Amino acid sequence: MSALFSKEDSITFVAVFFIVSYYFYETSLIKSFVKTFPFIISALIYLIIRFNVLDQTTTEGASNILNNIIYATEGSERFASNLNVWINYLKLTFYPFHLSYDYSYNQIPIVDFTNFSPIFSLIIFALLIWIAIKSLKTRSIVGFGIWFYLITFSIYSNLFPELTIGSTLAERFLFMPILGLIISFIILLQFIGTKLKLDTYRILLIPIIAGISISFIIRDLTHIGVWRNDISLFESGVESSPKSWRTHTFYAVALKSEAQKILNRGQGDDNQGIAIQHLTKASEEYNKSIEILEVSRKIPLSNYLELGDCYLSLKDTTNALKSYQNALSVNSKSMKGLYYIFMIYYIQKNYSQAINYGLKLVELNPSNSDDIMQNIAKSYTQLKDYKKAIDILDKSLKYSLSRQKLAILMALCSKIKDSSRMEYYQKLIADSNK
């Protein structure tokens, strides 16, 4: 029960306990089930608690194509794509090189049965299942190892729509399943040694284990450099998973963050040049991430906003404007997107467009829009629409009353010869002096 509450994938060990009882205690299937029954009760109690504590909204954020491509599939395409993921797990098991911290969309693509990979995977897994079933009669340890692998892997297999998880593939998911294949591999080596009548078959293990150990030591030593800083770390992620939208995004975030630190320090032209290089590269990486995601039509709002920030820091207002407008296509109420579009248009003296976006900001958050309302008033003034300038500035008095603002209102009223309003603002100035 403690294991279940600390890590829910331990629920698969209910079935593992069943096969342990059957293979190692030589009990019948029924007796093995009886011995496992207390663990089944514990699992049911855990599931009842889990479904009562967690609701759908707790996990729905991870349940999308950006995290797991299987959410975008159904029918035979779903089965084929799943098989393709499974064979990638097996490949990582026997060839654990070029590892990655992320396999999000579209590192492992959606496939169908016109692709050879799912067909090959189907053959391999059918063979594993056949060996496992055959071993039920002989209680072969090789079969036990395969059962162990299949059972502990099942929770990550996305086999049923109701049990689809929030990740296409993750290397950490092999932590327990790989133990089953190791058991089968060692027993298979023992079997080969016996068949070849090698009394010292265990000597075979020495060069095998030594070769594996040395290769991983070399791999670790050559990989240490990527941990030098965030930029090198996330750059390695792009190299290992070049088709993942998330690796490009994280690399861009690291570049942008480092550029911002350099700009904040403001140390010399050389450093400024490095910051510009980082920002340029960050904008390229954000664009690559967005390009990967275009087919999914699920581009995160933050990607457009952060891309806009990069362009703005590079003083590329044309592309910055385009990025912020794309952000509004994802969320039309994005305060950051609206604000920067408003400010770009205002600085460019495109006052009509600035007013349009400024009013949307005021509508969404009037109590925190005093500066925006003042800039809208200035925009109306530039367009010589003094009455609307007075109206918006008057509205801002509700949130911030100052003599400077009242003086501007009086000046605007004089332009349209509105004496009654001038007297009203004059009275407010007099009252503020008391």
pLDDT (tens digit per residue) in 339-375: 999 999 999 999 999 999 999 999 999 888 889 999 9
d(CA 146, CA 285): 42
Token reading at 257 = 């963050």
pLDDT at 6: 67
Q: Residue 88 to residues 146, 173, 214, 346: CA-CA distances in angstroms?
A: 17, 12, 24, 52
Contact 146, 139 (CB under 8 A): no
Contacts of 117 (CB under 8 A, 6+ apart): 83, 84, 87, 111
Contact 330, 298 (CB under 8 A): no
Q: Residue 122 to residues 16, 60, 128, 304: CA-CA distances in angstroms?
A: 23, 30, 10, 40
Q: Would you state the torsion angle of the CA atoms of residues 153, 154, 160, 164, taken in this order, to the nearest 10 degrees?
A: -40
pLDDT at 58: 47
pLDDT at 134: 94
Is residue 388 helix, strand or coil? helix
* Structural domain spans, the chain: 55-223, 228-331
pLDDT (tens digit per residue) in 79-100: 999 999 999 999 998 888 788 8
d(CA 248, CA 235): 8
pLDDT at 39: 81
Assess if CATH 3.40.50.970 describes domain 228-331: no
pLDDT at 268: 62
d(CA 374, CA 364): 16
pTM for the complete prediction? 0.84
Other CB atoms within 10 A of residue 156 CB? 22
Give me the residues of the chain with pLDDT under 70, please. 1-7, 55-63, 196-204, 267-269, 432-434
- Helix 335-347 with 317-330: angle, nearest 10 deg: 150
